């Protein structure tokens, strides 16, 4: 498939925003259970929520560059009964609004407890709003991933690993940003968020590696024999019948040499997984405030490469016919 950078930025940016919110909410739960020191509502949770919303809106803006007629974007939500894309279009603004509400409640200080669960967990307005936002975030992860995982004819994507990878990679990048945010704010949560970021990154390494191995061993259901109904062993497609390119030759194949795709695969395997974890470990040992920021930046650059490879790896059956221009 042809990787569109508008979709690459959409999926990576909203993943960071979703993961950052999950990190903030997890930190708040730990604080309410007296497992972490409490943080300031305005400077930490409210400001952190604003950053999460900014990433989500950035992804939403990037998605508009993928539309031929942006003024008709609202129509994409009309097929929610059958389309995961429509469901994503509906859930994304709900997620933005719910995280903005969570951030706003922290900003105005609505943190007085309504009641206490089991005598240890005080429940206030921010906790309820955050719980609703967490549900929206998880639904958005599923909707975004299922846009690709539901396509049976693209066997590289049609797997439960696609959903798990979107969830883990988005969460890992969000917790990585939370560690950087904590370091920038000078609060003592770098170790907490850094540890979770490392755990999620390693878990994502296992599942993303599993999807790479699975795709390498795939036996595609469609081939030249099945495409034309001829069972001869030596069939070679010489030309598509036209001398110029077309929508089919542009949109369904990246047309990059194999060396380029291999290099991008190596780049994202290095930048997304081992490098940020090592930087976090060095930050913990040296109490550095800049290394967590560098870890997030490098991991996000790696995620852009990872998402490019995710799209480029998928082999659309139509390329059996449109594989050569001349």
- Enumerate the H helices of 252-319 as residue ranges: 258-272, 274-286, 291-313
Contact 277, 195 (CB under 8 A): no
Q: Predicted confidence band at 325 (pLDDT cuts at 50, 70, 90)?
A: low
The pLDDT score that the predictor gives to residue 115 is 86
Among 49-53, 64-68, 131-135, 296-300, whose mean pLDDT is lowest?
64-68
Q: Characterize the bridge pairing of strands 115-117 and 121-123.
A: antiparallel
Q: What are phi and psi for residue 116, nearest 5 degrees?
A: -120, 135
Top-confidence residue, 228 or 86: 86
pLDDT for the residue numbered 248: 83
- C-alpha distances (whole Å) from 298 to each of 63, 113, 218, 284, 306 are 23, 40, 31, 17, 12
pLDDT value at 326 more than 60: no
Q: Which secondary-structure segment (H or E) carries 116? A: strand 115-117
Residue 62 vs residues 13, 72, 240, 312: alpha-carbon distances, Å: 9, 16, 33, 19
Mean pLDDT over 182-199 rounds to 94
Mean pLDDT of the chain: 92
User: Which position has the higher pLDDT, 234 or 24?
Assistant: 24
> What's the whole-number mean pLDDT along residues 196-201?
97
* pLDDT (average), residues 48-65: 95
> What percent of the chain has pLDDT above 90?
71
Condensed to tens digits (0 to 9), the pLDDT of residues 281-293 reads 999 999 899 999 9
């Amino acid at each position: 498939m042809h990787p569109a950078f508008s979709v690459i930025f959409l999926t990576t940016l909203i993943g960071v925003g979703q993961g950052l919110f999950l990190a903030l909410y997890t930190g708040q739960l730990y604080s309410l259970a007296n497992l972490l020191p409490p943080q300031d509502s305005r400077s930490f949770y409210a400001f952190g929520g604003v950053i999460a919303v900014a990433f989500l809106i950035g992804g939403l803006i990037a998605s508009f560059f993928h539309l031929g007629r942006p003024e008709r974007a609202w129509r994409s939500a009309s097929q929610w009964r059958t389309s995961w894309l429509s469901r994503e279009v509906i859930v994304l603004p709900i997620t933005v609004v719910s995280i903005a509400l969570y951030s706003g409640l922290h900003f105005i200080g609505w943190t007085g407890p309504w009641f206490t669960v089991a005598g240890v967990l005080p429940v206030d307005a921010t906790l309820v709003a955050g719980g609703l936002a967490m549900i929206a975030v998880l639904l958005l992860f599923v909707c975004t991933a299922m846009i690709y995982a539901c396509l049976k004819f693209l066997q590289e994507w049609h797997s439960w690993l696609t959903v798990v990878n979107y969830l883990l990679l988005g969460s890992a990048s969000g917790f990585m940003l939370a560690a950087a945010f904590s370091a920038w704010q000078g609060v003592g949560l770098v170790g907490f968020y850094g540890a979770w970021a490392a755990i999620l990154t390693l878990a994502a390494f296992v599942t993303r590696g599993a999807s790479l191995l699975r795709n390498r061993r795939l036996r595609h259901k469609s081939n030249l024999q099945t495409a034309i109904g001829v069972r001869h062993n030596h069939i070679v497609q010489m030309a598509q019948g036209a001398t110029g390119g077309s929508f089919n030759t542009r949109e369904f194949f990246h047309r990059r040499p194999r060396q380029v795709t291999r290099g991008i695969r190596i780049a994202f395997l290095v930048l997304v997984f081992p490098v940020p974890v090592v930087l976090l470990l060095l930050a913990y040992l040296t109490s550095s405030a800049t290394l967590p920021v560098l870890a997030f930046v490098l991991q996000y650059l790696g995620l852009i490469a990872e998402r490019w490879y995710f799209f480029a790896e998928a082999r659309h059956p139509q390329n059996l016919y449109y594989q050569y221009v001349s």
